Amino acid sequence: MPASFARPSSNSTPLIVLARDDLDTWKGGQSKRVANWVNASGFSAALGAVLVIPKTSGGIKQVLVGWGRATDRKRGRFHMASAAKKLPKGKYHIESGLNDAELEEAALGWLLSEYNFDRYKSKSTGKARLVAPPSVSAADTEAIAAGEFLTRDLINTPTSDMGPNQLETAFLALGNQFNAKTSVIVGEELLNRNLPMIHAVGRASDQQPRLLDLRWGKASDPTVTLVGKGVCFDTGGLNIKPGSSMGLMKKDMGGAANVMGLANIIMSLKLGVNLRVLVPAVENSISAGAFRPQDILKSRKGLTVEINNTDAEGRLVLADALALADEEKPDLLVSMATLTGAARVALGPDVSPFYTDGDDLAAALSDAGRSANDPVWRMPLWEAYESMIEPSIADLDNAPSGGFAGSITAALFLRRFVEHAHQFVHFDIYGWTPSAKPSRPKGGAFQGGRALLSVIMNHAAK
């Protein structure tokens, strides 16, 4: 079930949010009974701590939520969510202690904390529900949470139930939900439609490769095209991964899941953009028909690519999809992919690196990431590394040797397939939360999407 706020009512329990420095002042204004209860409990307003204060007649009078110190809060995000998990089942409202920006974050964090991937287990029961603060748009916040939940569900589902066939089903369902136009190019038709690298990467699987295409919005609105890597499982191909590296490869369609979640939000909010979503959906499998190291592939754009590692397949399927998208000269072209391990080495699992030549776009994304508690970081499209992606016998190398600058060279590779878009940005996301954090359980992750949403809203406003 999608997360939603509780309806306002007279029986919701007030939450009093208290920073450490404000606790003594607050206690001084309370009855002796309440002050003694707080003192006896040892409540110090530590970040995320919860104290239930009972009524004399029974039941809950109010709940104190610790807000710690400012230095504590800077070390994470969505702190209200950790408090929500500690509350008994019931309905709550935030009565005091937070400004409007903090209320907005608290409300979204609370909804995100309700996520539970229960497809393969018994349903959960009971939870603490929040009444939306008056300053927060309940509908908009619920739409953002719904998009993030879609992304998490898609990534968390194992490939046995989320291969190219099932990803297509989910994609078409998304389009149908919002009356969008959808189309699919499957199997040998990819060759007929000049999408040869998508075909080459996915042809070894018993589920045929395909390109999923969604269009929504008015042709007169600013054009925004989202391209997401949909490698539903990545064995590494003939350059097979070791078992330790293959364990999380159900998440290699995290780029597709993220653009689908973002599209869900855009369409839910009815933003004034002409939206297109492209997902090359494949499984990088092994069979007699698999593409090989040292093969030379010709791309949609006409550039040839020498295959020096079949485990660098994501950039191949993205290249054809980006070239197709670029032909329409969109105002904003976005690529999202779980593309390189090098990005994780550079920035870890939480911070999403992005690449763009547009300084204004980079600044807008950085500002939006901070405002939305969606950390992103600009990485350089370092021109001096262009020679690293140029082999001796083809136009491009899909896996430069040497092991240096892996995320940068992948981004430079993709940029070769974009010429006409007014603005282009590539996100090299992880798509996974390795250990549970407030509002983010272990599993599939929505990364960079809220920062992008802010930028896309500005496009819509123009």
**Distances from the Cα of 15 to the Cα of 32, 128, 308, angstroms:** 20, 12, 58
Helices (H), 327-418: 341-347, 359-371, 406-415
* Confidence at residue 2, expressed as pLDDT on a 0 to 100 scale: 75
Structure tokens at 285: 């499998």
> For this structure, is 301 an active site residue?
no
137 C-beta neighbours (distance < 10 Å), count: 13
- Round to whole Å and give the CA distance between 387 and 409: 9
How high is the pLDDT of residue 392? 87
CB 428 within 8 A of CB 318: no
Active-site residue, from 315, 344, 440, 450: 315
pLDDT computed for residue 124 by the predictor: 62
Is there a contact between 431 and 251 (Cβ–Cβ < 8 Å)? yes
Q: Is residue 343 within 8 Å of residue 427, measured between CB atoms?
A: no
Q: Residue 1's pLDDT is what?
A: 62
How many residues would you count in the chain? 462
Each residue of 123-145: pLDDT tens digit?
665 689 999 999 999 999 999 99
Considering only CA atoms, which of 118, 418, 162, 149 is closest in space to residue 260? 149
Task: Report long-range pairs for 382-386 (Cβ below 8 Å, ≥24 apart).
Answer: 382/408, 382/412, 385/409, 385/412, 386/412
Residue 41 to residues 50, 96, 120: CA-CA distances in angstroms?
10, 21, 39
User: Rg of the chain's alpha carbons, rounded to an integer?
Assistant: 24
Q: What is the DSSP letter of 120?
A: T
Q: What is the DSSP string of 165-185?
A: HHHHHHHHHHHHHTT-EEEEE
Q: 329 catalytic, yes or no?
A: no
Task: Report the C-alpha gap between 73 and 214 in whole angstroms.
Answer: 40
> Looking at residue 22, what DSSP letter applies?
G
Residue 58 structure tokens: 């029974």
List beta partners, residue 211: 185, 280
List, in sequence order, the alpha helices (H) in 87-217. 100-112, 138-156, 164-177, 189-192, 196-202
Mapped onto helix, strand or coil, the DSSP state of residue 339 is coil
Give the pLDDT confidence of 215-250 residue by residue, as tens digits.
999 999 999 999 999 999 999 999 999 999 999 999
Q: What is the pLDDT of residue 157?
A: 98
Domains, the chain, with CATH or none: 13-136 (3.40.220.10), 141-461 (3.40.630.10)
The one-letter code for the residue type at 307 is I
Buried/exposed 403-419: b ≥16 CB within 10 Å, e otherwise:
eebbbbbbbbbbbbbbe
Among 61, 127, 215, 241, the one annotated catalytic: 241
Rounded to whole angstroms, the Cα distance separating 150 from 128 reads 22
Tokens of 423: 């603005």
Query: What SS3 class is residue 216?
Result: strand
Instruction: Pick out the chain residues at pLDDT < 50.
Output: none
